[in-house]
Chain A
Amino acid sequence: MPDSHRIVLPSRAFFLSWRDQTLPARRAALDDAVAHFEELEADTDPGFRDMAVLGVIGEALQPLEDLSYLGTGWDRPYRGIATYVRATTYTRSTATNFWQESPKWDDARLDVFAGLAGRDPETDVIVPLTEAFASHGISLEPEVQEALYAARAATTDRLRRLLRGLGKDWKQFSPYFLAYKHGGLAINRDDTGFVTDHVEELRDATPWHEPSIAVWTRGGRKQELQADFNLSQAELVRYGAGAGRLAIDLIDAFLDSRLAVVETFEFDEAGEVVGIKPMQLPWTTWLREQDLDDRYWKRLGRGPRITWIAEEAVIEE
Chain B
Amino acid sequence: MQLAFTVKHHDWEYIEQRGGIELLTHLRGAATRVEFRRSSIERAYARFATADAEERSEAEVGGLGLVVVQRALLAAEDLGGLLHAFRGDDPWQRLRKTTIPDLDAGYDWALARPEEAFAEAFCLADEHILREEGLTNRVIGPLMDLRGREITRWSRMLGNAANLWHTLHGVAKATMHGFPVFAGTYVFDPPGAGEVGAGLRPSPFGRCAIAASSRERDREVRTDRLPVRLDQQGVATWARWGKVAARLAGELSANQAESRMGGYAATIPLRFISRLSPDERSLVEAALTEREDS
Contacts and interface: CB of A to CB of B under 8 A. Distances in A.
Interface size class of A (residues with CB under 8 A): 35 or more
Contact of B25 (A55, A180, A192): A192
Interface in A60-89: 62, 65-66, 68-70, 78, 81, 84-89
B25 A182 contact: no
A21 B3 contact: no
A188 B26 contact: yes
Interface string A151-189: 000000000000000000000000000001111111110
B130 interface: no
B285 interface: no
Contacts of B62: 21
B63 A21 contact: yes
B49 interface: no
Nearest to B187: A13
B13 interface: no
A191 B182 contact: no
Contacts of B43: 32, 36
Interface stretch (B33-41, B234-242, B264-272): B33-41
Contact of A188 (B29, B44, B177): B29
Contacts of B40: 33, 36, 55
Contacts of A225: 3
Given A20-B59, A88-B212, A202 B4 contact: yes
Interface stretch (B74-82, B106-114, B155-163, B275-283): B74-82
Interface stretch (A131-139, A211-219, A231-239): A211-219
A196 interface: yes
A184 B249 CA distance: 11
A184 B78 contact: yes
A149 interface: no
A192 B6 contact: yes
A68 B176 CA distance: 12
A191 B28 contact: yes
A106 interface: no
Contacts of A51: 32-33, 36-37
B137 interface: no
B29 A183 contact: no
A47 B183 CA distance: 36
B96 A218 contact: yes
A20 B183 CA distance: 8
Nearest to A272: B191
A45 interface: yes
Nearest to B177: A90
B32 A267 contact: no
A115 B145 CA distance: 67
Contact of B3 (A68, A181, A187): A187
Q: Which one of A25, A70, A199 has the highest number of Cβ atoms from chain B below 10 Å of its Cβ?
A: A25
Given A17-B183, A25-B63, A199 B192 contact: no
Contacts of A65: 176-178
Contacts of A87: 178, 180
Contact of B194 (A32, A227, A271): A271
B191 A267 contact: yes
A218 B31 CA distance: 21
B96 A85 contact: no
Given A20-B186, A62-B176, 7 more contacts: A5-B194, A17-B182, A18-B179, A186-B33, A188-B26, A220-B97, A267-B191
Interface of B: 1-7, 22, 24-26, 28-29, 31-33, 35-37, 39-40, 43-44, 47, 57, 59-60, 62-64, 66-67, 70, 74, 77-78, 81, 93, 95-98, 173-174, 176-183, 186-187, 190-198, 209, 212-216, 221, 223
20 contacts: A9-B195, A10-B193, A10-B194, A13-B186, A14-B182, A25-B60, A28-B63, A28-B64, A47-B31, A52-B36, A88-B174, A88-B180, A181-B74, A181-B77, A186-B33, A190-B28, A202-B6, A217-B96, A270-B190, A271-B192
